[in-house]
Amino acid sequence: MPGLSHLYFRSAIVFLIVGISVGIHMSVSGNHNVIGAHAHINLLGWVTSALFGGYYALNPAKATGRLPMVQYFIYTIGVVIMGVSLYLLLQGNLGMEPIVAASSLITFAGVLLFAWVVFMPAGAGVHATPRAAE
Ligand code: HEM
Ligand code: HEM
């Protein structure tokens, strides 16, 4: 499995641990205010990251070059900031709204880069590592 898939699964499982912790805290406290943060940490963080990692594992050639790594960092940083800021927003910190908005766009940029990876031939990214001569 490419290193990038390992990376995706490592961050995915951390998102799942955090997402479930928020879910259990909601259940125990009876306060479901942060349902949106719980849902998106689990769905963008655990489910989508694992899908990305699974895609790269099934298509290792697509994990080559710099673009897939850039895609990983943009997407993951977007989800981390979105998860934290959405949680704080739903706790009543209204000042978080612009950060939620900006991080949603960063996450979306990560998704668009993934679309690029999927549609373009393997290693077609800008600054892709040159292929070894065959
Ligand atoms: C032990 C693990 C989990 C616990 C204790 C838990 C707990 C909860 C609670 C208390 C709610 C609020 C329900 C409501 O107010 O109607 C909720 C909603 C939700 N959870 Fe979880 N959850 C867990 C795992 C997960 C996972 C793994 C996912 C996704 C992969 C997930 C996705 C969702 C979604 C999408 C909602 C919103 C549903 C809606 O809009 O009605 N949850 N969860
Ligand atoms: C940057 C990406 C995303 C943004 C900005 C976004 C935004 C939103 C918004 C504004 C809501 C309504 C929340 C409310 O009424 O309180 C929502 C709900 C929901 N979204 Fe997303 N979403 C994103 C990605 C996703 C993805 C990828 C999934 C599934 C894989 C998903 C699943 C859900 C679900 C299940 C709900 C209902 C649960 C809830 O009330 O929080 N979203 N989303």
What is the tens place of the pLDDT at every residue in 86-129? 999 999 999 999 999 999 999 999 999 999 999 998 866 545 45
Query: Average per-residue pLDDT in the chain?
Result: 93
Q: How far is the CA of 38 from the centre of ligand 1 (A)?
A: 7
C-beta of residue 63 within 8 angstroms of C-beta of residue 4: yes
Distance, CA of 91 to CA of 62 (rounded, Å): 40
- Residue 55 pLDDT exceeds 50: yes
- Report the candidate in 125, 122, 4 with the shortest Cα–Cα distance to residue 66: 125
Distance, CA of 59 to CA of 102 (rounded, Å): 31
Q: Give the nearest ligand 1 atom to 46 CA.
A: 30
Q: How far does Cα 95 stand from its chain's mean position?
A: 23
- pLDDT at res. 98: 98
Q: How far is the CA of 86 from the centre of ligand 2 (A)?
A: 11
- pLDDT at res. 66: 93
Distance, CA of 64 to CA of 127 (rounded, Å): 11
Ligand 1 site, CB within 6 A: 19-20, 23-24, 26-27, 32, 35, 38-39, 42-43, 46-47
* Nearest CA residue ID for atom 1, ligand 2: 104
